[in-house]
């Protein structure tokens, strides 16, 4: 079985990692750990002078490095549990990148943690797990962490 584990730096992703380790047979499972960095973008306002943020590329590079460090930590846990694991860090929007990576790999299952947003936060921020579940070509397991 090929599992795409989509993570961020949250307790919800930690719960997804724990569930994956506890419920899957490492000898029969290959895991790809995916972290997506949503790039920071600033609108251009020529009338603004410094300290207008001109170093967004440097900030985004730092966020990519932090993402690689995050997936390395998860890879160590998975490999210690006996899983064949590899990682991917991409830039883009989590919703679409996760679906695309799962299809191209191709994954049998996507595991994603849910932040459990409700009400206005869900409307404004959206639900990544909901989008992935609706658009993925394969099964999706949404893991909820205890609050």
- pLDDT tens-digit series, residues 76-121: 999 999 999 999 999 999 989 999 999 999 999 999 988 655 544 4
pLDDT score recorded for residue 122: 44
- pLDDT tens-digit series, residues 30-41: 999 999 998 876
User: Any idea where the domains of the chain sit in the sequence?
Assistant: 2-144
pLDDT score recorded for residue 132: 93
Rounded-to-integer distance, Cα 147 and Cα 47, Å: 45
Prediction pTM value = 0.85
- pLDDT tens-digit series, residues 1-14: 999 999 999 888 99
pLDDT score recorded for residue 28: 94
Quote the radius of gyration of the chain (alpha carbons, Å). 17
Strands 2-7 and 139-144: unpaired
Rounded-to-integer distance, Cα 35 and Cα 98, Å: 9
pLDDT score recorded for residue 1: 95
pLDDT score recorded for residue 144: 85
Quote the mean pLDDT of the chain: 86
Q: What are phi and psi of 65, to 5 degrees?
A: -65, -45
Q: How is domain 2-144 classified at the architecture level of CATH?
A: 3-Layer(aba) Sandwich (3.40)
């Amino acid at each position: 079985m090929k599992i795409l584990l989509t993570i961020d730096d949250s307790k919800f992703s930690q719960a997804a990692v724990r569930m994956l380790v506890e419920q899957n047979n490492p000898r029969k499972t290959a895991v790809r750990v995916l972290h997506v960095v949503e790039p920071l973008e600033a609108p251009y306002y020529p009338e603004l002078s410094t300290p207008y943020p001109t170093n967004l590329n440097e900030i985004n590079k730092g966020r990519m490095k932090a993402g690689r460090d995050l997936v390395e930590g998860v890879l160590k846990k998975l490999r210690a549990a006996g899983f064949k694991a590899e990682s991917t860090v991409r830039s883009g929007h989590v919703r679409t990148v996760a679906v695309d990576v799962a299809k191209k790999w191709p994954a049998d299952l996507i595991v994603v943690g849910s932040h459990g947003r409700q009400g206005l936060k869900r409307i404004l921020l959206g639900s990544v797990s909901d989008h992935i579940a609706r658009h993925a070509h394969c099964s999706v397991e949404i893991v909820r962490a205890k609050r």
